[in-house]
Amino acid sequence: MEIPSEIDLLSVFECEPELLDKQKDSPFYYNKATYRFNNGRENFRVELSPSFEEFILEVQDLHSKEVITYLQFIRVESLEILEDRKEKSRILLTLREEEIMQTIQVEFKPRFQLIIKQHLDI
Protein backbone atom coordinates (compact mmCIF):
# COMPACT_ATOMS: atom_id res chain seq x y z
CA MET A 1 0.00 0.00 0.00
CA GLU A 2 1.28 3.41 -0.90
CA ILE A 3 0.67 5.87 1.94
CA PRO A 4 1.60 9.46 2.77
CA SER A 5 4.31 10.15 5.33
CA GLU A 6 3.56 9.75 9.03
CA ILE A 7 3.69 13.56 9.39
CA ASP A 8 1.11 14.02 6.63
CA LEU A 9 -1.16 11.42 8.27
CA LEU A 10 -0.81 13.24 11.62
CA SER A 11 -1.84 16.44 9.88
CA VAL A 12 -4.90 15.14 8.04
CA PHE A 13 -6.23 13.12 11.00
CA GLU A 14 -5.19 15.85 13.50
CA CYS A 15 -4.08 13.34 16.14
CA GLU A 16 -1.31 10.93 17.07
CA PRO A 17 -2.04 7.31 16.28
CA GLU A 18 -2.33 4.51 18.80
CA LEU A 19 0.22 1.95 17.58
CA LEU A 20 -0.27 -1.78 18.04
CA ASP A 21 3.49 -2.34 18.39
CA LYS A 22 4.76 0.47 20.62
CA GLN A 23 8.46 -0.38 20.27
CA LYS A 24 10.41 2.62 19.03
CA ASP A 25 12.31 0.64 16.38
CA SER A 26 9.16 -0.87 14.83
CA PRO A 27 8.69 0.67 11.35
CA PHE A 28 5.36 2.47 10.88
CA TYR A 29 4.69 0.61 7.61
CA TYR A 30 4.66 -2.75 9.42
CA ASN A 31 2.57 -1.54 12.33
CA LYS A 32 -1.17 -1.02 12.85
CA ALA A 33 -2.11 2.61 13.54
CA THR A 34 -5.46 3.72 14.95
CA TYR A 35 -6.47 7.37 14.68
CA ARG A 36 -9.41 8.70 16.74
CA PHE A 37 -10.71 12.21 16.07
CA ASN A 38 -13.88 14.20 15.45
CA ASN A 39 -15.06 17.13 13.37
CA GLY A 40 -17.62 18.53 15.83
CA ARG A 41 -20.43 16.43 14.27
CA GLU A 42 -19.02 12.93 13.90
CA ASN A 43 -16.45 10.75 15.68
CA PHE A 44 -13.99 8.89 13.47
CA ARG A 45 -11.86 5.81 13.99
CA VAL A 46 -9.39 5.07 11.21
CA GLU A 47 -7.28 1.90 11.37
CA LEU A 48 -4.42 1.64 8.96
CA SER A 49 -2.22 -1.44 8.41
CA PRO A 50 -0.08 -0.57 5.38
CA SER A 51 1.87 -3.83 5.10
CA PHE A 52 -1.40 -5.83 5.17
CA GLU A 53 -3.06 -3.33 2.78
CA GLU A 54 -5.94 -2.90 5.23
CA PHE A 55 -8.03 0.18 5.99
CA ILE A 56 -10.96 0.45 8.41
CA LEU A 57 -13.19 3.48 8.88
CA GLU A 58 -15.86 3.77 11.54
CA VAL A 59 -17.97 6.92 11.77
CA GLN A 60 -20.31 7.62 14.69
CA ASP A 61 -22.70 10.46 15.38
CA LEU A 62 -20.96 12.65 17.96
CA HIS A 63 -23.96 12.93 20.28
CA SER A 64 -25.90 9.65 19.94
CA LYS A 65 -22.77 7.49 19.33
CA GLU A 66 -24.80 5.68 16.65
CA VAL A 67 -22.61 4.12 13.95
CA ILE A 68 -23.23 5.95 10.69
CA THR A 69 -20.71 4.09 8.54
CA TYR A 70 -18.38 1.14 8.93
CA LEU A 71 -16.02 0.23 6.09
CA GLN A 72 -13.34 -2.44 6.05
CA PHE A 73 -11.15 -2.79 2.99
CA ILE A 74 -8.41 -5.26 2.23
CA ARG A 75 -6.02 -5.03 -0.70
CA VAL A 76 -5.91 -1.24 -0.66
CA GLU A 77 -3.45 -0.10 -3.29
CA SER A 78 -3.02 3.47 -2.07
CA LEU A 79 -4.18 6.14 0.35
CA GLU A 80 -3.77 9.69 -0.89
CA ILE A 81 -4.50 12.98 0.84
CA LEU A 82 -6.61 15.16 -1.46
CA GLU A 83 -7.09 18.11 0.90
CA ASP A 84 -5.65 18.96 4.29
CA ARG A 85 -6.80 22.36 5.42
CA LYS A 86 -8.21 23.61 8.70
CA GLU A 87 -11.74 23.78 7.28
CA LYS A 88 -11.65 20.86 4.82
CA SER A 89 -9.95 17.46 4.74
CA ARG A 90 -10.35 14.58 2.29
CA ILE A 91 -8.55 11.36 1.43
CA LEU A 92 -8.79 8.97 -1.51
CA LEU A 93 -8.41 5.20 -1.29
CA THR A 94 -7.73 3.15 -4.41
CA LEU A 95 -8.47 -0.56 -4.61
CA ARG A 96 -7.72 -2.69 -7.64
CA GLU A 97 -8.83 -6.23 -8.45
CA GLU A 98 -7.79 -7.36 -11.92
CA GLU A 99 -9.51 -4.97 -14.36
CA ILE A 100 -11.78 -3.36 -11.75
CA MET A 101 -10.60 -0.29 -9.88
CA GLN A 102 -12.55 1.29 -7.03
CA THR A 103 -11.98 4.73 -5.60
CA ILE A 104 -13.34 5.72 -2.22
CA GLN A 105 -13.24 9.41 -1.38
CA VAL A 106 -13.74 10.21 2.30
CA GLU A 107 -14.33 13.77 3.46
CA PHE A 108 -13.81 14.35 7.19
CA LYS A 109 -14.34 18.11 7.37
CA PRO A 110 -16.50 20.14 7.37
CA ARG A 111 -18.75 17.07 7.67
CA PHE A 112 -18.53 13.42 6.76
CA GLN A 113 -19.09 12.51 3.12
CA LEU A 114 -18.37 9.29 1.27
CA ILE A 115 -18.13 8.84 -2.52
CA ILE A 116 -17.48 5.37 -3.94
CA LYS A 117 -16.84 4.82 -7.64
CA GLN A 118 -16.04 1.70 -9.59
CA HIS A 119 -14.09 1.91 -12.84
CA LEU A 120 -13.19 -0.56 -15.54
CA ASP A 121 -9.40 -0.33 -15.85
CA ILE A 122 -8.50 -2.12 -19.08
Domain boundaries, the chain: 6-120
For every residue of the chain, DSSP letters joined together read: -B---HHHHHHHHTSPPEESS--TTS-GGGS-EEEEEE-SSEEEEEEEEGGGTEEEEEEEETTT--EEEEEEESSEEEEEEEEE-SS-EEEEEEEEETTEEEEEEEEEESS-EEEEEEEE--
What's the pLDDT tens digit per position in 63-116?
Answer: 999 999 999 999 999 999 999 999 999 999 999 988 999 999 999 999 999 999
Whole-model pTM over 0.85: yes
CA Rg, the chain, in Å? Answer: 14
